[in-house]
Amino acid sequence: MKKREEIDYGNWVSASMMRMWTVTTLVATALCVVCFLLFANGPVATRWIIGGILLILTAGLLLTTVYFGICRSLFSYKGKRRIQSRILDYVLSYLKFDHGSILDIGCGNGALSIKAAKKFPCAAVTGMDYWGSVWNFAKEQCEANAKQEGVLDRVFFREGDAAHLDFPDESFDGAISNFVFHEVKSQSDKRLVVKEALRVVKQNGVFVFHDLFFEKKYYGDPDDFVRQLKAEGVQEIHLVCSNDEKFIPKILKTRFMLGRIGLIYGIK
């Protein structure tokens, strides 16, 4: 079991995902070699049909593994580009906040919660997540990260479900979230997940949510969604297309990786 003492914010392309693609590619390569050896003296047609199919499959797997490897290195907090960190800074740049309480919904390994605590020294930040098995994120790692970053006295972590937040209405002065709502399996209507997030924000409180807001399959028409939220009482709300941001490399903007991302931010 890994000791949770070092800072580790994880990677949106997880190590286990990379392992899975690498092992599958290696197995396919081995199968290719075995196939060519087995049919070395057999009929040429058989060798090239079976071998050809396996070769195409292996090439596809190899390309996918390389693609995910490049994305992982671009995202990495240890790499040169540090895109994960820069995306979280970008999210916080839209939070017009001074002091009070902030909720980070789906906090993962606590990166955004901790950045918020460091940016706003008068804030008390709560990070919540369900910490399921899909991601290599954990509450203990969040706490270890907050301790290493010197903000453990102002950052708290709680387990919960983003679709049914365990907080009364209007509990927080601000709410933030990055790439979470579309992942919430306990609620198929992602607009309702956003509304649940807004429920716990105080009147005049602020919010910044970053997600696949331009993917119609999750939110329908984004402008229509914004109009709906306004009609339901949100005072001020803006929609920003993050795909236009130059600091995010094109290779990450494909539908296999970040997809059609955007921010909604404003005042409740």
Interface contacts to ligand SAM, rule CB under 6 A: 12, 106-108, 111-112, 129-132, 135, 137, 161-163, 178-180, 183-184, 186
Q: Helix, strand, or coil here: 155?
A: strand
Task: Tell me whether residue 25 or residue 141 sits nearer to ligand SAM (CB atom).
Answer: 141
Task: Tell me whether residue 173 or residue 211 sits nearer to ligand SAM (CB atom).
Answer: 211
With 0-12 / 13-18 / 19 or more C-beta atoms within 10 angstroms meaning exposed / middle / buried, residue 127 is buried
Least distance from C-beta 247 to ligand SAM, angstroms?
Answer: 16
C-alpha dist (Å) from residue 145 to 29, 42, 151, 260: 39, 59, 9, 30
Which residue carries 């709560």 as its tokens? 126
C-alpha 62/C-alpha 68 separation (Å) is 10
With 0-12 / 13-18 / 19 or more C-beta atoms within 10 angstroms meaning exposed / middle / buried, residue 71 is buried
Task: Tell me whether residue 114 or residue 206 sits nearer to ligand SAM (CB atom).
Answer: 114
Least distance from C-beta 183 to ligand SAM, angstroms?
Answer: 4
Task: Tell me whether residue 179 or residue 218 sits nearer to ligand SAM (CB atom).
Answer: 179
Q: Helix, strand, or coil here: 14?
A: coil
Task: Tell me whether residue 180 or residue 237 sits nearer to ligand SAM (CB atom).
Answer: 180
Least distance from C-beta 45 to ligand SAM, angstroms?
Answer: 47
C-alpha 141/C-alpha 66 separation (Å) is 28
Least distance from C-beta 226 to ligand SAM, angstroms?
Answer: 22
268 is written with which tokens? 């409740």
Closest residue to ligand SAM, judged by C-beta, is: 108
Residue 217: phi, psi to the nearest 5?
-65, -20
Least distance from C-beta 132 to ligand SAM, angstroms?
Answer: 5
Half-sphere exposure of residue 157: CA atoms within 13 angstroms, side-chain side = 25
Least distance from C-beta 204 to ligand SAM, angstroms?
Answer: 25
Task: Tell me whether residue 107 or residue 261 sits nearer to ligand SAM (CB atom).
Answer: 107
